[in-house]
Structure 1
Amino acid sequence: MTDIAHHIPEAILASYVSGTLAQPFALVVAAHVSICEDCRANLAAHEAVGGALLDDFDPISITGDLRNRVMAGLDDVVPEPVRPRGDDIFPTPVLEALGSKPPKWRSLGPGAKQCILNAGKEGSVRLLHIAPGFAVPDHTHGGLELTLVLQGAFKDETGRFARGDLEVADDDLEHTPVAEDGKPCICLAATDAPLKFSAFMPRLLQPLFRI
């Protein structure tokens, strides 16, 4: 058991196992699973169920050449990522997304900065760095947002989220996350649509920040 209080919903975990979860969200799920024993066990259970279902399908023959290439690939050594400073903060999936380099932070204004890891048709995933006591401006969502806390903690209208906790937000949630005192709050956040800010200035700057 872990001290993590907020976990991956079953539907999202099932989508991840089946390979249908969009890449930005899949990265957040992989990062959470890497530091959450409970969800790692739940993931293994989902994979076991999926494997049992595959046993019910008729086998498909493959060519000898394909079999040989697959078996040869199993012997390839995958190098461990070179961990940058602060490697105790970032799980291995995040380090790999960073290319084993420190984040390139860009300011979002006083007390906030971000590092975009990937952005495309499926959505975007980024690291957010919020100074203690600062808030993300009040907003709702145009779609799904997954936010995983990697350091520090924040509070919003739904509760408190600390290291390893995952917040799932959609267009039904309007909130103002505020970083707690202590260490800066660093989060991994994925969205499939732009946020909907309440205040004029964040809306004005939103295209520039791509958030």
Structure 2
Amino acid sequence: MSDTVRQQAEREAAASRVMARADRLAALSETADALTRVYLSPEHLQANQLVGQWMQAAGMMVWQDSVGNICGRYEGVQEGAPAVLLGSHLDTVRNAGRYDGMLGVLAAIEVVQRLHQQGRRLAKAIEIVGFGDEEGTRFGITLLGSRGVTGTWPESWLSQCDTDGVSVAQALVNAGLDPARIAPRGPSPAGYRRLSGTAYRAGAVPGAGGAGARRGGGD
């Protein structure tokens, strides 16, 4: 088998794995007929567990942070090196597209898995975050996940309630988290070199002439 054929087969296998994993995550929904997965729900916590398993299989150290984001780190050549941060969100709007958010997390894991299979380490570490909330579907507050990472989470958010009268603080406790451990400040900027993610336009087909997914990031 030529290198070109082998590389093409590896790319196709990677794409198939990402799509199969997206299907598994899409099955974690509060309704059977439409994808809905909201922050700190049982489905969100199940998604965290599944994504964490895939991160571990890719050679990453895995943890769930104080606001319910699932995080993984693939160490660089030198332990403790600054990291490139990759990721997207695992929550959804109601009746969501099956790739929005989760595709960015899964694609990032696939990149690390390839490095791990090849026994490669980069000059910088890679950290991946599956943010617990971007959409604000449950509590009417957006970006709870990323603002938990950056340490810009207002204390007033803890008293915000969902339509069932459950506060953010109580939802954290119900999920086994401690609201008192939410960091008042984010990590040192020296610890990161870049943030990048993959967004997905609803209705587009991944891989169809480049449509659908787009990457973004900044130094």
Q: Normalised by the size of structure 1, how large is the TM-score?
A: 0.24
**Greater C-alpha Rg:** 1
The structure with the greater share of residues assigned to strand is 1
TM-score (normalised: structure 2): 0.24
Tell me which protein shows more helix as a share of its residues.
2
